[in-house]
């Protein structure tokens, strides 16, 4: 149990030392143009400007990816790049929650940050599918 106790202690100390520093502005800017690089096809890619998740909604409403884990840091900018061939409502189950409506034919980017460690589900409300779980670590 010593290992656990000391790891816990170390982590609490680390939090105390670094914790209050990382208050990036919560970016909530719906923009329609793709600003930067990070052109990886599927899930995620930690870059300077945060993590981008590519989401595709097919004509029949099915979404990709499904249930993937994406690693994110607390306060890091998360961008959902949504290519929709069908209308859908996308929920981000963080605190506060985010909800984005997309129409058929839309290609949009939605950004937010998450302030607390934990796992946050990004969910397609219409088809009741979990798109990704954001694994938010401090």
Quick one: 102 or 132, whose CB is closer to other proteins?
A: 132
How big is the chain by its Cα radius of gyration, in Å? 16
Scan residues 59-78 and list those touching other proteins (CB under 8 A): 66-69
Q: How far apart are CA 96 and CA 93, in angstroms?
A: 8
89 dihedral zone (left: phi>0; alpha: psi -120 to 50; beta) = beta
DSSP 52-65: EEEEEE-TTS-EES
89 touches other proteins (CB under 8 A):
no
Q: Which stretch binds other proteins (CB under 8 A): 27-35, 43-51, 104-112, 129-137?
A: 129-137
Scan residues 94-113 and list those touching other proteins (CB under 8 A): 94-95, 97
Give the pair of three-digit tokens for residue 84.
């929709």
Q: Which stretch binds other proteins (CB under 8 A): 11-19, 21-29, 33-41, 75-83?
A: 11-19
37 touches other proteins (CB under 8 A):
no
């Amino acid at each position: 149990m010593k290992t656990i106790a000391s790891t816990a202690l170390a982590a609490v100390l680390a939090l105390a030392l670094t914790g209050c520093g990382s208050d990036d502005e919560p970016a909530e800017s719906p923009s329609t143009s793709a600003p930067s690089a990070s052109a990886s096809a599927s899930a995620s890619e930690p870059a300077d400007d945060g993590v981008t998740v590519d989401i595709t909604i097919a004509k029949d409403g099915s979404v990709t990816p499904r249930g993937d884990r994406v690693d994110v840091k607390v306060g890091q900018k998360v961008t959902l790049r949504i290519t929709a061939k069908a209308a859908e409502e996308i929920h981000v189950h963080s605190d506060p929650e985010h909800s984005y409506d997309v129409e058929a034919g839309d290609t949009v980017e939605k950004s937010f940050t998450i302030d607390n460690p934990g796992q946050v589900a990004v969910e397609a409300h219409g088809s009741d599918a979990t798109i990704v779980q954001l694994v938010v670590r401090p």
